[in-house]
Amino acid sequence: MECGSYQLIKKSSECKARLGKVYTTRGIIDTPVFMPVGTHGTVKGIAIEFLHNSKAAIILGNSYHLYLRPGTEVIKKAGGIQKFNSWNKPLLTDSGGFQVFSLSDTRKISEEGVEFRSHIDGSKHFFSPEKSMQVQKDIGADIIMCFDECTPYPADYSYAKNSMELSLKWAKRCKLEFYKDASYQKQALFGIVQGSIYNDLRKISVNEMLNIGFTGYAIGGLSVGEPKEYMYDVLETTLPTIPENKARYLMGVGMPEDLWEGVQRGIDMFDCVIPTRNGRNGQVFTSFGKINIRNKEYIQDFSPLDPECNCPTCQGYTKAYLNHLVRAQETLYLMLLSLHNIYFMVNLMSKIRKSLENDTFLNSKKEFFEKYYFRK
């Protein structure tokens, strides 16, 4: 099967949710899937061995960060990102677009591309659609993304339209550059639908992206501060246009509730820094809702974070001990809490897939939320 291709296994009889598989050079991914984020090629705080055990099927790396540090030359010499970081399963890189716009210092945007200064040392760099493709080819992920502008929120209609049109022009150049050499035999290129919260712009974007033609399609520019209803609306407007035999990826999303809502509307892939970022702040997902392990009530709580969780943290440690680690600023907590949160997301997606197998998605969703929001 072509890298990045999607196989539909089963559709829900109740909604747009779907069970499927995404084929990649380094393995087959059961979807819907959650992808933990490894900004610098490493999921923050988690040794690869633990990540493997979590059953995470695919992780994400950030091209902007990897380009600046350690640099594509090092990764290329190592034999690609999965040789470099010892993660020998599927990996997806974003294009660098989001970070160039949001993280870098002073930047100049033109149709040609974006000139920016590194947030690390102020050095000057230039990213264009072509450059992003070259960087992502050197990094060597299984799935790579078009270089685009992630339209900020709020954006007025005119800004959103221009931004969406620029991303379309760039998408064409990305495709040309991508198919220039034989990389495409091992990597897949996904297009990204933009258009902010304007449904007519989203429709133009998705149709034009389909005209250009990509192996898979992402919905970008969501979960950037807009009310959730807008996100659902964009998904309902956009996804039905995308052919059934293509993977749909909701970028930068999300929270447990977003995963259910996204899947219900037809999303196959998600990524988010939430499990690791929350872990670093002491915030933990459990079957009975979110908790902050730093809270006083856990000082003498000798039960695990989540009695239903099979992660090493829940199997090996109590809330009291984790509370102590956070209060004593022992770095071990970064790893133990992040790992638990990753297991939580991966296990949640596994539950969602199971409900799709049994065609009980809506009921499973209801049960999940009853427990998640109404804990004693």
- Please list the active-site residues: 94, 271
Residue span 325-344 as binding mask against a second copy, x where in contact by CB under 8 A, dash where not: x-xx-xxx-xxx--------
Is residue 65 a contact point for a second copy (CB under 8 A)?
Answer: yes
Q: Which is nearer to a second copy, 187 or 338 (CB)?
A: 338
Torsion of CA 282, 285, 289, 292, to 10 degrees: 0
Q: Which is nearer to a second copy, 115 or 301 (CB)?
A: 301
* 3-class DSSP assignment, residue 293: coil
Strand order in the sheet with 124-127: 105-109, 114-117, 124-127
Q: Which is nearer to a second copy, 144 or 334 (CB)?
A: 334
C-beta neighbour count of 360 within 10 angstroms = 16
Tell how many helices (H) and how many strands (E) occur in the chain.
15, 16
β pairing state of 33-38 and 269-272 = parallel
Is residue 309 a contact point for a second copy (CB under 8 A)?
Answer: no
Task: Provide the minimum distance between the beta carbon of 260 and a second copy in the complex, in angstroms, as a whole number.
Answer: 31
Task: Provide the minimum distance between the beta carbon of 320 and a second copy in the complex, in angstroms, as a whole number.
Answer: 6
Is residue 77 a contact point for a second copy (CB under 8 A)?
Answer: yes
Is residue 103 a contact point for a second copy (CB under 8 A)?
Answer: no
Is residue 274 a contact point for a second copy (CB under 8 A)?
Answer: no
- Residue selected from 13, 28, 69, 308 as contacting a second copy according to rule CB under 8 A: 69
**Residue 189 belongs to what H/E stretch?**
strand 188-193
Is residue 20 a contact point for a second copy (CB under 8 A)?
Answer: no
Is residue 84 a contact point for a second copy (CB under 8 A)?
Answer: yes
Residue 290 backbone zone (phi > 0: left; psi -120 to 50: alpha; other: beta): beta
Per-residue b/e over 288-304, b at no fewer than 16 CB within 10 Å? Answer: beebebbeeebeebeeb
Is residue 323 a contact point for a second copy (CB under 8 A)?
Answer: yes
Residue span 28-57 as binding mask against a second copy, x where in contact by CB under 8 A, dash where not: ------------xxx-xxxxxxx-------
Instruction: State how far the alpha carbon of 128 is from the alpha carbons of 135, 143, 173, 299, in Å.
Output: 10, 19, 9, 52
Residue type, 175: K
Is residue 74 a contact point for a second copy (CB under 8 A)?
Answer: yes
Q: State the residues that interact with a second copy by CB under 8 A.
A: 40-42, 44-50, 65, 69-70, 74, 77-78, 84-86, 299-300, 302, 312, 316-318, 320-321, 323-325, 327-328, 330-332, 334-336
